[in-house]
Every structure is written in structure tokens, then in C-alpha cells.
Amino acid sequence: MIRQGVLLGVMSVLAGCGAGYQAIAAGPDASATSSARATARQAPAGFLGAFSSGGDALTWTQALSALARADVAYIGEFHDDPATHEFELATLKALAGAGRPVALSLEMFETDVQQTLDAYLAGSIGEAEFLASARPWPNYKTDYRPLVEYAKAAGIPVVAANVPRRLASLVAKGGLAAMAGQPDSEKRWSHIPESCPADAYWKEFEKVAAHPGMPPGAVWKWYEAQCLKDETMARSIGLALASRKVLHVNGAFHSDRGLGTPARVGKWRPGVSEAIATVRPVASVPPALPPDLAGVADSVIFVKGPAHGGPAPDRI
């Protein structure tokens, strides 16, 4: 089911965004390669099957169609799973061949390296300079480089969506109050959430993050850092939506149940439609949707890979 963003009031997307944040220019994408169009309906090799939120079995084409219809399509991942990254690339290729301009938004790059990322996509700098300045994740070359290189070849904008990790770390240690002491030159790279409530998202986060021996209040501060990430990614997505649909890739926890980033996107683009896919690596596809995954996403995608047991930090 495609979800409609909650109307949280009409807000100007560009108001108060600070330097370095501008809507992606309107206009068509550069023509996607013919191979991309040819493979648009081919399931990636690791795709095993999928289920809707209600438990109906979905083919690759059906799962893809749900993502294609939405203004924002989310893919929630385990960061270390190769088959999931193949699914992401196949989805990007399919959306690029569908005719509607698309932007790729990534949790894995931070807002303050957007200019560097843009320069690389435009061919103004080489890959070595890009990697030296853009603080890529350790698994960039194996897992995220194919997405960026395809986007570069196809003329697809790539959004560095996440808050800089130095600011997330600051909040994880000192709470959101620590942002008050930061200069405007730093604050502009984030969007401080108006609220970080102890709601269903907090309850899910506490299950994943809490462990014996953590000091009192430490998990809450970490949760506030999570809210800062979600709010900043939501703003990044909202800006990109000015001219095209968005495929956003993040750790599954950020988008599962629509409680993290998706819940905040409606503030930036009221009425936006969102479709959430969550990907789970498994040894074999289950005969039915497992009860613990019911309602987690609009579509649950199963790919071939080592199964993850329970909540894991690599999906946050």
C-alpha cells in the first residue's frame, strides 16, 4: 500500500535551509543506457520472492511497480548484504527506464559533501579526489559504488542525504541540546527536529540499541541522534522532490513501519506518496510472510544470503 505523507502544515522547502541546500534542477534525466531499459523488468539474481504488508505473494514486477508508483520509494537494507545491494541497483535501473525523472538519495553520504559528489557526477573531478573528500563508508567500493557509477552514467542526481557523522556523534554523546552550541556554519548541514517523542519509534529503537551496562540516558541520547539523522534525510528528500521522484536507500530501521525518515518527509512535501520496501537476506524464501514482518513495510523483499538473527546494528 502506498502511504500518504501526513499533512504537517505547508512549509517552504527552501526556507531556512542554509547554504549548500538547493532543490535539484528540474528537467529530464540524461538518457539511461539501453541496457538499463532492457533489464528494467529482470529480477536481480539474488531475488527470491516478496510479500505485501498483508501477506500476499509478490513477483519482482509487482514489487517494483509499487515502488515506481510512489513519489518516494524507500529501500531498507542490512548494510553488509551483497544481494540487497544488487536489488537496489536493479530497482534504480528499472526506475530510470520508467520515464519519470528520478533522483537517488543515500544515507551513506552526508550533506556537507554534496558539492564534492556533484562535481564527481559531472566529471569535474576524478574518483580518487572524490573518495578522498567524500568520506565514503568502508564498504563503498563493493556495495555502493555500483549505484553511484550507474547514476553517473545515466545522468541521475545523487543526494548526499545524511547528517554529518561528527554532528550525529555530538548528539549521541550530549543529546540534541549539544547542537545549540554549534555555529551556524555547522548547523546548516543538519535539520534539528522539533520533537523527538517517546513514541512507537522510540520503543523499537530501545529494543535494538539498549544493552546491559549502558549509562542511564545514553540510549535516549543515541535516539536523539537517530532523530537528527531522520530529520536531515527527510529534508534532503523533500528538496529533491521539487522536480523528480526519489529512490532513498537507508538502513532498514530508518524506514521500517514508516516510523523514522518517512514519517518526517511529509513536513517537507505535504501529501507526498511513499512506498517502503524492506529487504531481508535469507537462505530460502519462507512459504508465507513471517508474523514478525507483518506491517513492517509495504513490501518485504527476500534475497539470497546469510540470514540475520533478530535486530542488528547494521540496519540502523
Instruction: Name the CA dihedral angle for 222, 226, 229, 232, rounded to a multiple of 10 degrees.
Output: -110
Q: 33 to each of 98, 151, 245, 254, 297, how far by Cα in Å?
A: 12, 11, 19, 31, 31
The pLDDT of residue 5 is 37
Q: Are 237 and 260 in contact (CB under 8 A)?
A: no
Element (H, E) at 248: strand 245-251
From the list 309, 267, 301, 261, the residue with the least C-alpha distance to 285 is: 301
- Could you tell me the residue ranges of all domains in the chain? 3-8+44-162+244-307
Q: Is 3-8+44-162+244-307 a domain of CATH 3.40.50.11550? A: yes
pTM of the model: 0.87
Q: Distance between CA 21 and CA 13 in Å, rounded?
A: 10
44/86 Cα distance (integer angstroms): 6
Whether 164 and 189 have beta carbons less than 8 Å apart is answered as yes
Q: According to the model, what pLDDT value does residue 279 have?
A: 97
pLDDT at 31: 39
Helices (H), the chain: 34-38, 60-69, 82-96, 114-122, 127-133, 145-154, 165-174, 184-187, 200-209, 218-240, 252-255, 261-268
pLDDT at position 216 is: 77
For residue 308 the three cell numbers come to: 540475520
Rounded Cα–Cα distance for residues 73 and 71 (Å): 7
Task: Give the residues of the chain that fall short of pLDDT 70.
Answer: 1-41, 308-316
Which residue shows C-alpha cell 548526499?
160
Q: Look at residues 158, 157, 155, 159 and name the one whose alpha carbon lies nearest to residue 32.
A: 155
| pLDDT in the model for residue 17 | 36
The predicted structure's pLDDT at residue 308 = 62
Backbone CA torsion sign across 192, 197, 198, 204: negative
**What distances in angstroms separate CA 127 from CA 89, 99, 136, 146, one per listed residue?**
20, 29, 11, 13
Task: Tell me what pLDDT residue 13 has.
Answer: 26
